[in-house]
Amino acid sequence: MSSYPHDKPLGIVLSTVTNSSLNTLISLAQQAEHYGLDSVYINEGRGDAIGTCVAVALSTSKIKIGTNIANIYFRAPYLAAHSINVLAEASEGRAKIGFGISHRDILRSIGIEMGDARPRLETYIKDVKAYLRSRQEREKGPSNLKTPLTSIFAAANTVESAKIAGKVADGIMPYLSPISSLPLLLGSAVSEAAKTSPGKSFKCVLSIPTFFCENEEDAISAAKYNLAFFANLPNYRRQWRRAGFAEDIDRIKEKYQMGASRREIARLIPMDLVEEVCVYGKSIDCRKKLEAFRAQGVDEPVLAISPVSEDRNQATLRGIAGISARQP
């Protein structure tokens, strides 16, 4: 089996939305490191993404570690900056952080009002970076206690959010963004970054729903079922409409409002959307699709592996081994 090229960064994202224990997430991260992946990211659903990253950092030695995505409504900027510094020390400079705004209805369900999210994201990242810089200033001098400065990324699924990322962040971390929309997102961010920091290096880390399976039909079915869940969230519907799927998304929204099940919605997910958003099938086909994403400006694809016909953790382990840069 051919392996993934060593000179092309490739990551994996692990989910706190699942029932996986902390020890399981650590074990998966260790396997990713063993197989030569470049990075492991933790999303923030039902768990503390930054805290989990610290645990992973203390249990690994080489792999880069980050959040994809940490929720800005869960921590004050001051605490976020201190948590990032703990991660930076624990990982010895291997960390990067992605921040995002989550979803209005999900936040409301736990008693948090989102308010005006985009301006808040901009201010939040500015404040976090200011606290991080102040730590750097205090550590100037002969002391050996110097905390590595951590790169901050912003979730950017729309042009508006990408422009905010360009102003205040070091890169963008889109999710479920159609491949055809990526040049516009990244271009908008880079153009904005050039206004304030000419020549600044600006990266795109893209989390991609991934479905490894020898049976392509089964992989596509799993992908459609996965996208059916996200099709009930306005943020994702918005970016898919803008990518040319307005008619399909309007029909899906109407069906959800009429009480359709997720399985019924999955049948309405257009195949073109699966092709634009997902990686699926055999490992060799997935590698080819990853190259297509890179060709549209993605610096680091990050695999969000979902099960097709097995346990999620088993699917993740098999996917890591199948796509990895270093076969044992």
Count other Cβ atoms within 10 Å, centred on residue 30. 16
Q: Does pLDDT of 205 surpass 90?
A: yes
**Alpha-carbon distance 49 to 128, whole Å?**
16
Q: Read off the pLDDT of residues 254-312 as tens digits, 9 standing for 90 and up.
A: 999 999 999 999 999 999 999 999 999 999 999 999 999 999 999 999 999 999 988 88
Average pLDDT value for residue range 163-169: 96
Give the model's pLDDT for residue 199.
Answer: 79
Q: Identify the three-state secondary structure at position 7.
A: coil
Q: How confident is the model at residue 1 (pLDDT cuts 50, 70, 90)?
A: very low
pTM over 0.95: no
Give the model's pLDDT for residue 45.
Answer: 81
**Alpha-carbon distance 68 to 93, whole Å?**
17
Span between the terminal Cα atoms of the chain, in Å: 12
Overall size of the chain counted in residues: 328
The DSSP letter of residue 175 is B
Give the model's pLDDT for residue 31.
Answer: 96
Q: Two tokens at 145?
A: 């206690």
Which comes out higher in pLDDT, residue 145 or 260? 260
Average pLDDT value for residue range 144-151: 78
Q: Does pLDDT of 61 surpass 60?
A: yes
Q: Angle at CA 133, nearest 5°, toward 79 and 62? A: 80
Residues linked to residue 13 through DSSP beta bridges, in sequence order: 41
Give the least confident one: 91-95, 155-159, 196-200. 196-200
Q: What is the mean pLDDT of the chain?
A: 92
Give the least confident one: 21-25, 103-107, 120-124, 240-244. 103-107
Give kind and range of the element (H or E) at residue 207.
strand 203-212
Read off the amino acid at residue 282. Answer: K
Q: Does pLDDT of 55 surpass 60?
A: yes
Q: Read off the pLDDT of residues 78-90 as tens digits, 9 standing for 90 and up.
A: 999 999 999 999 9
Which comes out higher in pLDDT, residue 327 or 72? 72
Average pLDDT value for residue range 139-154: 78
Which comes out higher in pLDDT, residue 171 or 15? 171
Q: Does pLDDT of 144 surpass 90?
A: no
The DSSP letter of residue 62 is S
Give the model's pLDDT for residue 328.
Answer: 46
Q: Give the CA radius of gyration of the chain.
A: 19
Q: Identify the three-state secondary structure at position 269.
A: coil
**Alpha-carbon distance 283 to 137, whole Å?**
46
Contact indicator for 97, 205 with CB cutoff of 8 Å: no
Can you list the domains of the chain with their CATH numbers?
11-323 (3.20.20.30)
Q: Does pLDDT of 2 surpass 60?
A: no
